[in-house]
Chains A and B, each alone.
Chain A
Amino acid sequence: MKEFILIFRHEDGSKIASPEQIQVWMKQTMDWLGGIAAQNKLVSHGNGLSFEDSKVVRHNNIVTNGPFGEIRETIGGYVIVRAESVEEAVEFAKGSPVLQGEGNSVEVRKIATHEF
């Protein structure tokens, strides 16, 4: 089993959706995570990342406010899963409610392990 981090890129939900809509997404997220956890394959439910109080520190210590690029979608959170292969991790990612938003994405990355 390897560990994969699933990184969500999406718009700031609070800017585009009602509190009720966010509630629905939360529930869908919990159902999705519960489904992975029921397979004993959830390593960490991670953290949501706030869109407020965010800065980018660049070369020569130049500090800019978000947004973080030309696009509106940025990293909003992550979870860590256990999977046999990147394909299995991708299958998990496909179930994420984040992907309901056009332009949103889930990046799947294997966590590098160092062998001593």
Chain B
Amino acid sequence: MTGPQELIPHLFRTEAGRITAVLCKSFGLDHLEAAEDITSETFMAALDAWPRKGIPENPVAWLYAVAKNKAKNHLTRQHLFLKKIAPEITGQASTETTDIDIDLSDNGITDSQLQMLFAICHPSIPAEAQIALSLRILCGFGIEEIANAFLSNKETISKRLVRAKEKLRAEKVILAFPSGEETGRRLETVLTTLYLLYSEGYYSATQDAVLREDLCLEAMRLTYLLIRHDSTDQPMVNALLALMCFHSSRFPARKDSHGEMVLYQEQDESLWDQELIAKGAYYLHRASTGKNASRYHLEAAIAYWHTIKIDSPEKWENILQLYNQLLQIEYSPIAALNRTFALSKTKGKKAAIAAAEKLQLTGNHYYHTLLGELYTDIDNQQAKASFQTAYDMAKTAADKQAIRRKMDAL
């Protein structure tokens, strides 16, 4: 039996975002802080009551009921102010009514969270702030956890959140689904944010493995919400979830018994989560309608090929072609480097070295790691020098360790 000390933080993570989103839906986004305050007060009440009176039979329902009451009190006070006090000051009577609609049903929660997601991913908010806001408001992350994930400090994250909230107010962003044509455009920003949120977890420099997996899971949960909603259940969204499922299937194999990162090539594939791989295949299949192959389709297809550990000419030829297409849609240094690795598997290391040297990515330590791998067995002296450069440039302990292992294997 878990006690309140373990249960409440867990519930905060799963329920705080839901409660805040629903409250915001009835207060309006310009009262975001009031909604967040009521959510915190609700959990404070649980921290106070549960250790004394015992955990209620249905803890979630208890939280919702308390939040609802606090919200009603807040609205009544607000109404009282508008009706009785404000006219005294301004000489104008308020016409606002007190219709209170706080919809904590499953649908109400899902809709409020999705609308909140669209609001947070408003084009006026910088990408970094979108991620921080999503983590704070939708995923119930503490400021410190967000700071850890970004390798930043609490002050920076707090400032970032405050500025983003001010921006939401200034732009008069409302909680609603974008309509018709706008859905597609806004959905792209939402997907970019979810993609970055996922990557933040998957590639994050933080050593905290639990935190990293949590970030990935939250990104998947929000993407899944989009799929459950008719107007946002689009091929691109399914492709993104497929990509996330394929990557996440490797979580159990990514760390060894000492908690150290295990590189793809050295992973025990019997640890890969076959259920998630099957889910990925399911969503990729669902994504295969319509004419557009988005970057998420291509990346999901690449991730699919990586769920097959055994090297085959077919595997690498397919991966190379997918990277060729991906780079034509959207250039990124990491895609350019990965394409060059696929090239070495299909056309040999010498051809890949020639291609690598044209990439002009000498400021990127992954470039030197790649060169080291390409020169291995061709010119081990050169390979060693490349790994050394990569080692000197790498910033995180995990990266340095991975490079060191490659050097030692020479």
User: Chain A interface (Cβ within 8 Å of chain B)?
Assistant: 27, 30-31, 33-35, 37-40, 42, 45
Q: How far is the CA of A42 from the CA of B335 in the complex (A)?
A: 14
Q: How far is the CA of A34 from the CA of B346 in the complex (A)?
A: 14
Q: Which residues of A contact B355 (CB under 8 A)?
A: 35, 38
Checking B320, B321, B324, B336 against A40 with a beta-carbon cut-off of 8 angstroms, the contacting residue is B336
Question: What's the minimum C-beta distance from B359 to chain A, rounded to whole angstroms?
Answer: 6
Q: How far is the CA of A27 from the CA of B320 in the complex (A)?
A: 10
Q: Is the CB of A39 within 8 A of B359?
A: yes
The 7 closest A-B pairs by CB, nearest first: A34-B324, A37-B327, A38-B336, A40-B331, A30-B324, A37-B328, A38-B339
Q: How far is the CA of A37 from the CA of B320 in the complex (A)?
A: 13
Determine the main DSSP class of A at the interface with B.
helix
Q: Is the CB of B325 within 8 A of A38?
A: no
Checking A27, A38, A40, A42 against B340 with a beta-carbon cut-off of 8 angstroms, the contacting residue is A38
User: B309-348 CB contact bits vs A (8 Å, 1 = yes)?
Assistant: 0000000000011011101100100011001100000000
The answer to whether residues A38 and B321 also contact, given A33-B328, A45-B328 and a CB cut-off of 8 A, is: no
**Category for how many chain B residues contact A:** 10 to 19
Could you list 15 further interchain pairs (A-B, Cβ under 8 angstroms) beyond the known A30-B321, A42-B328?
A30-B324, A31-B320, A31-B324, A34-B320, A34-B325, A34-B328, A35-B358, A38-B327, A38-B335, A38-B339, A39-B359, A39-B360, A40-B331, A42-B327, A45-B328
Q: Is the CB of A39 within 8 A of B336?
A: yes
Q: List 11 A-B contacts (CB under 8 A).
A: A31-B324, A34-B320, A34-B323, A34-B325, A34-B327, A35-B355, A35-B358, A37-B331, A38-B358, A39-B359, A42-B331
User: Chain B interface (Cβ within 8 Å of chain A)?
Assistant: 320-321, 323-325, 327-328, 331, 335-336, 339-340, 355, 358-360
Determine the main DSSP class of B at the interface with A.
helix
Q: How far is the CA of A37 from the CA of B360 in the complex (A)?
A: 12
Q: How far is the CA of A42 from the CA of B331 in the complex (A)?
A: 9
Q: Which residues of B contact A31 (CB under 8 A)?
A: 320, 324
Q: Is the CB of B328 within 8 A of A39?
A: no
Q: How far is the CA of A45 from the CA of B325 in the complex (A)?
A: 10
Q: How far is the CA of A45 from the CA of B328 in the complex (A)?
A: 7
Q: Is the CB of A37 within 8 A of B324?
A: yes
Q: Which residues of B contact A35 (CB under 8 A)?
A: 355, 358
Q: How far is the CA of A37 from the CA of B322 in the complex (A)?
A: 13
Question: What's the minimum C-beta distance from A86 to chain B, rounded to whole angstroms?
Answer: 18
Q: How far is the CA of A41 from the CA of B360 in the complex (A)?
A: 11
Checking A30, A39, A45 against B358 with a beta-carbon cut-off of 8 angstroms, the contacting residue is A39
Q: Which residues of B contact A40 (CB under 8 A)?
A: 331, 336
Q: How far is the CA of A34 from the CA of B339 in the complex (A)?
A: 8
Q: Which residues of B contact A34 (CB under 8 A)?
A: 320-321, 323-325, 327-328, 339
Q: How far is the CA of A31 from the CA of B327 in the complex (A)?
A: 11
Give the residue name and chain of the A residue nearest to B329 (CB): A37
Q: How far is the CA of A38 from the CA of B325 in the complex (A)?
A: 10
Q: Which residues of A contact B340 (CB under 8 A)?
A: 38
Q: How far is the CA of A42 from the CA of B360 in the complex (A)?
A: 14
Q: How far is the CA of A34 from the CA of B317 in the complex (A)?
A: 13
Give the residue name and chain of the B residue nearest to A45 (CB): B328
Q: Is the CB of A27 within 8 A of B336?
A: no
Q: Is the CB of A33 within 8 A of B358?
A: no
Q: How far is the CA of A40 from the CA of B321 in the complex (A)?
A: 17
Question: What's the minimum C-beta distance from A31 to chain B, rounded to whole angstroms?
Answer: 6
Question: What's the minimum C-beta distance from A75 to chain B, rounded to whole angstroms?
Answer: 21
Q: Which residues of A contact B324 (CB under 8 A)?
A: 30-31, 33-34, 37
Q: Which residues of A contact B321 (CB under 8 A)?
A: 27, 30, 34
Give the residue name and chain of the B residue nearest to A31 (CB): B324
Question: What's the minimum C-beta distance from B367 to chain A, rounded to whole angstroms?
Answer: 12
Question: What's the minimum C-beta distance from B255 to chain A, rounded to whole angstroms?
Answer: 31
Q: Is the CB of B336 within 8 A of A30?
A: no
Question: What's the minimum C-beta distance from B134 to chain A, rounded to whole angstroms?
Answer: 29
